[in-house]
Structure 1
Amino acid sequence: MAATPVKDVAIVTPWYPTRDMPFRGAFVQAMVGATAPGCDRVTVYHGDAWVAALSDRDDELVGRAHAELLGLATEQTPTVGGANLRYVPVPIPRGRWHAEIAHRHAATLKAALGGKPIDAPVVHAHVGLPGGWAAIRNARPDARIFVTEHATFLDQVLDTPEARQMYDEVLHQADGFFAVGEAVRAPLLAAFPHHADRITFIANPIDFDVSRPEPVTDLRRWLYVGGLIPRKGVDLLLEAFATCRAEDPTLTLTLVGAGELAGRLAERAAELGIAEAVTQTGAVAPDEALRLMREHDLLVHNSRFETFGVTVIEAAAAGMPVLVTRCGGPEETLAGVEESAGELIDVADTPDVIVAGYRRLRSRFPQQVDLALARRELAARYSYPAVARAHHRIWFADTPAGPSDPVSVPAQRS
């Protein structure tokens, strides 16, 4: 009788939560938490970029010493789902571009492995560069390699000839290549039409296991979760909140996250006379962010561009309505349940659009919003079990797939 194949998987990623950056790579951590329980062994190789201003001479010295020390640092620590985490710091001089960054990730991982290939028959990388490149340069010859792309800066990656050529090689060598949504797949198809049949879909997993103790009954406690950076449109969100609070002084706003706008947002809240109603928590761990979702009434997400929009689905999983822009990912992930989940608004350079969206949502809440329906539909697409089945089916050919497995997202589109 033939032995059952060992379900052994390595995850190669440039992003994973750390003590200093608990939010970065939370979606990768979620993927590990969803898929690891169905495997015999999962090892996460987190190539964490350490960016510093280095001269060429310093770069050479640091690189040489770092490579020697990495071979001695073999400790793994437990992470979610019973997986193990191998932390691999990657020194990168400030100002380097995506091709060189990918080369450095691949070389540093090789040094950490002592020159040996990754000891796993299945390797799944996150983002084509640097994750996919590091994976194909370090996987053993018989390994099956898969890549998930979800970078919002994909256009920058493909903007230089060397990085574009490297990405083409990743697509060519990967056994499976997945975009988290059309916002990622479309630019890849435009850049690499000869790989059109190789680029399909797979969703980010969302935890639907814990719901809020009491349903939302009013839309007074606003919540934002994400980076405090210009692309997220959080400055306009604050302006819109001030307008809405002038109409209803009971409104509050909690900003969860860190970024370059943190100080300016605090100053502007004071200028608007709403400082007492605005709370900034800084960056928090994913579990704490989910707890806050269960304690607030409305997620407001005014991003300019998202490839998926994990936070939006997390809010729906927490039984929370959403007010979110049509910024690429959300209109796709919420397809079919838009009005049940909340309100979609256009991306605009004015807070008036947010204000108008809030007023519309408030006028039909709760009678014309069905959060329970939205939660059920989205769980069928994005829950841990649904996405885990999709991954296991592609990783292990003998794993049966369920009818709702979100390997292919087109079923959610018209």
Structure 2
Amino acid sequence: MTDLDTRAAERWGALRRAAPALLGYTAVRALGLLVLALWSAARGRSAYTLLTARWDSLWYTGVAELGYGYEVRLPDGDVHSNLAFFPLLPWLERLGAAVGPLSYADAGFVVSLLASLAAAWGIFAVAEHVYDRRVGLCAVLLWAVLPVGVVQSMAYSESLFTALAAWSLYAVLTGRWVTAGALAALAGLTRPVGLAVTAAVWAAAVVAFARDRSRAGAEGAHGPPYAPGEGARRVLGMLLAPLGAAGYVLWVGHRTGDGPLGYLDVQAGWRNGFDGGAAFARFVAEKFTSFPAALAGAALVVGVALLVRLYVAGVRQRQPLALLVYTGIVVLLALCASSYFGSKPRLLLPAFPLLLPLARALARARTSRAAAVVCGVAVAAAVYGAFWLNGSGPP
């Protein structure tokens, strides 16, 4: 058997192991889309429009169709520029429209559907590698039934980013450093939080180098501490990882004439920035000044406490460093940004390692009980997603 045959057999085996998780994920998302279609029809609205031609979806398709340079000046002086949106999703939308009969919005929807499946497979691969196949299945199903899981089926960049991040992390965990760096670079072309993937690659590589040096010192000069070329591949992966995000940010700075940090000025026009969570803390505190807004404030406090507890559980369960670094930065940027507060739940969608402690607990339950829990939460998430998109929706 040739190396090519061996790799093909390995990939086919990996797909077979992931098949139940992917089928379960597809079923959950199909339920969500069905409920959304019925709910929207009852309100005289188009579910497809909600998924492909509202909020950020319009900005992405605008970039795909017209390129960069469009901006909206608001009466309060804010400037909303499409330079705030990273280019990989619009590039794929343009490619999809160029090679087939799809519109840019159609192509964005197809990209999100395919990327969500790739993300589910990547989550399964990471969880299976760290724990086992059953935990991988549970992790995928939990990601599918998140209350804002409907975003995974929208022409947004969350699914695409999560897919690239998950597979980059899996490549790190399995020692495929060049692949990890290349995927991290693509993630950096998708969303600003791509730096979390880069940081995970760098942290894991630095620790691997330190571990190799320690082994070399312990074993002496006899025998290489790692396979020939391993160090070079790690360095190449580290060099590749930041290229996507750095390249786009520097290009924006050059285009606007504001220098290397010009992208921050673009984000400021959207009132986005990093303030250490001060604005979010004020937002939560203001909820407690009236009733029933205080109930929403209490729910937010409980939600943040749950995020912290899940992260601490990951630390205690000794999740790999790459996962902890990645998750920590995703959560930190989501909670400590001064952006629109209603968007924070969807900004947390890529932080899938937070679900691993819950997936482990669910995996230990009886199959019948675990299935009942997942089905019940899936129905609730489908109803909430339909209600949400037909209401305020994700900004």
Same fold (TM over 0.5): no
Greater helix content: 2
Greater strand content: 1
Q: RCO (CA 8 Å, sep 6+): is it higher in 1 or 2?
A: 2
TM-score (norm 1): 0.22
